[in-house]
Structure 1
Amino acid sequence: MTFVCTGYAASAADKPLGPFSFDRRTPTDEDVEIDILYCGVCHSDLHMARNEWGGTTFPIVPGHEIVGRVKSVGSKVTKFNAGDLVGVGCMVDSCRTCPSCQEGLQQYCETGGMVGTYNGKDKYLGGITQGGYSKAIVVYEGFVLKVSEKLDLAGAAPLLCAGITTWSPLRHWKVGKGQKVGIIGLGGLGHMGLKFAHAFGAHTVLFTTSPSKAEDARRLGADEVVVSKDAEAMAAQRGSFDFILNTVSADIDLSVYLGLLKRDGAMVNVGLPEKPYSFSGRPLIGGRRTLAGSMIGGTPETQEMLDFCAEHGITADVEVIRMNEINDAYERMLKSDVKYRFSIDMASL
């Protein structure tokens, strides 16, 4: 059984997004039906809509930073009731049984991978899953998250991707008081990294190519701002960091940043550049340093993040747009002309 849902979709890689009607499944006994209120706009949405990573199936409805209100629940649903405020992030299912899934790290599902909120394999209807640029979504309750009424909903939506993508590595590498932490880049991810590292009590440093971002970086939680093009300023930071989080997808020289770490320090990449990284191994072996990667987060840590944000009043800095402004938003996003995330008011659809 299905019902017709309306949204915005890309019909081809070279076409703008436009109105689109498609089928959603009628909720099963384990499903939660959600009326979407806000959906954040992630750079991944643009990559997928334009098939820049390859593998996109068209037509595609992007969107995986979803906040909405529960419309109905299946008979076996125990965690949610109609009227609850909830969120859905980058995945809507996984195998549920492999070691990673059993540990609540479903993003690393070892049996076929996680099911993406859009462009994933739809095991119920066939074809692909469709995302949050739409009126409603139906999701298995195990991938639905509770969102506090305390939070600004437009700003809460990007927490479901930009938030958890930076939260997960900061928590996994136990960033906290007494540590010096670097954040590379001040965009959708970087501004959340600053907010979290500051909230965890770390001495937080932003690395940016733009001196003009210094004032805003300090507002968001940076104790220091280092312009990465300034070789002297970079050299002054050598060997002083416990942890560096690289949030940019540019092909930067990782060797330079690895040299800024203390012995046993770690640098974690959450961006995905188009070209493979190339770097010298000397800083790695010279200081027993670690270079690692991280991808979003599992449902338990995403819920932990949302609860922390509610307690500390943390949301993303957003510009709210109407649904029919999405193509302009994509072009502005390519120019970094947003502070720091777009959030779509789905009432405008």
Structure 2
Amino acid sequence: MLAACADKPEAPPLPLREATVDFHGTHQAGVATPAQASLNLIGFNLKDGADEKAVMRLMRLWTEDARRLASGQNPLGSLEPEMTAWPANLTFTCGFGEGLFRAAGLEKPEWLHDIPAMTRDRLDPKWGQTDLVLQICCDDPVMGAWAMRHMTRAGVDYVETAWVQQGFVNAHGATPEGETPRNLFGQVDGTVNPYTEEEFDEQVWIPSGPFAGGTSLVVRRIAMNLDEWELLDRRSREESVGRTLDTGAPLTGGDEFSEPDFEARDEYGLPVIDRNSHMARAREVGTKILRRPYNYNLPPEPGSGELSNAGLVFMSYQRDPDESFTPMLKHLDEVDRLNEWITHIGSAVYYIVPGVGESDYWGQSLLEA
């Protein structure tokens, strides 16, 4: 009896239950935000006949629902308030494709067009361009999935879902805060990224003009041949990238963020870092992007003989992809030792609209201009 009356141990803390990311601001959340554990990236196409007024109605509706969900509140009209109780750093990021600008009769950014075809591309139309995109990221997969369902249902009168790309990185608390995530090749992925506000202002955010406060998003779906990759010994894997697998440091030494020495030679007079390694080729161009990749891992295609169907939902944010992303991609397409094990199978480009105030909606400055 006494044992039964003993004080029960305190319940462990639930750090994600009330964890939120501010929905309001000059820029949308989900870009500079540290990558959450799960991604639901949804490509939508406008329904036939949708015009500027329809887009405005959709944006008002979506923005208000996203505003409530991101703060842990139940959206108006929702019958599932229990599902909004743990926001877990939920963010929404909305982008406009070229088709939306055309349907709404708006002038688009000059760079908003398909990424030029690359010789190694094997693009599948099912992962292609759409009129809109919603990036929904969260540290809880149930919250993220429910938020995706709600937003899709809310927009059903205006848009149709073209594709959904889901991904994941390390769970909250599994790795030290701020540590660079790893892809399924075991490599750190996203070392050379902007980190300070000044770097984001220089590399990511559009500074002026009608698109100020926004940015561009390039989505590349990249299949990774894990079966062939895993035949390599550890040294060969590191040489293809130019970094060590354990710490992500350049092969010339230091830590993950040390500058590589491309002039260093080994005892035989050969470059320590292969000039055709992924890191060396990416750095030669000199352009800067924000990498925000997520892993995907799906069942193998029937009859493929492969053990997995894995890869990256590679998302790149930058001011102007024509000046930064595309030159880098062309350079890597020409020569990159990593190309033997990766294939680009999807591509899309979007204008990420600016952030909003407490009474604004996504894209308002464009749609009401």
TM-score normalized by structure 2? 0.28
- Bigger fraction of residues in strand: 1
